[in-house]
Amino acid sequence: MTLSGRGLHDAAWERLKQAERLAERAGLSSATLAWGLAATADQRDYAEAAVQYIVKALELDPAAPAIRDSHRIICERVLATFKELHIHDEAVPVLFRLIARLDAVDATVLVKQPRHVVAAGNLDAALGLAQDAVDREPRNAEALRHLASLLARAGRHQEARDRRIEADAIAQIFPCPEARA
């Protein structure tokens, strides 16, 4: 799975992995080393490792500006990749887990993930995720409409109608400027 069109940085990766093994043998941990591994993994288009190491770097030094900036960059790349995926793409759950690990889950992510889950045939799990999206952003009309559609599929028609009414009211109070264009 790729995050960007950058070239490979194999030599740097191998050196950093060697340094990581040495540090582990010595019982040491380093935010700077984890940050270097995260940045190099990102350069190599290795999303899973980039997330693993940037999360580790943040745990070790949550205030370091360079680490926080790299976290933001990696989040943006993972989110952009996730948003471009078709709901039937098998990478959706993988990227969803990475986004959760980055603590970057928002209602948009929580709307796409249940679409994938329901397409895979798990309506109950999709309902739970859709409800999480509404709980996270209660004024998100798209999340409410999606929850309503899932409730209707589950035969919970009154709840579905209530969510649609709520979504319509929110859409009138908080209209989306892009929808009018």
What pLDDT does 175 receive? 66
CB 169 within 8 A of CB 177: no
Mean pLDDT in order along the chain per 10 residues (181 residues): 53 93 96 96 93 98 97 96 91 94 88 87 91 89 93 95 93 62 33
Same fold, 1-86 and 105-181: yes
- DSSP states of 26-63: TT---HHHHHHHHHHHHHTT-HHHHHHHHHHHHHH-TT
Q: Does domain 1-86 have CATH number 2.30.30?
A: no
Give the per-residue pLDDT at 173. Answer: 83
Residue 58: how many other CB atoms lie within 10 Å:
21
Q: Where are the domains of the chain?
A: 1-86, 105-181
> What does the pLDDT read at residue 176?
59
Distance CA 26, CA 20 (A): 10
Q: In a 10 Å sphere around its CB, with 0-12 CB exposed, 13-18 middle and 19+ buried, how is residue 124 labelled?
A: exposed
Q: Hey, what are 103's tokens?
A: 């603590």
Q: According to the model, what pLDDT value does residue 178 have?
A: 46
Question: So what's the pLDDT on residue 89?
Answer: 92
**Counts of helices then strands in the chain (DSSP H, E):** 10, 0
pTM for the model: 0.77
105-181 is classed CATH 1.10.10.10 = no
44 — alpha (psi -120 to 50), left (phi > 0) or beta?
Answer: alpha
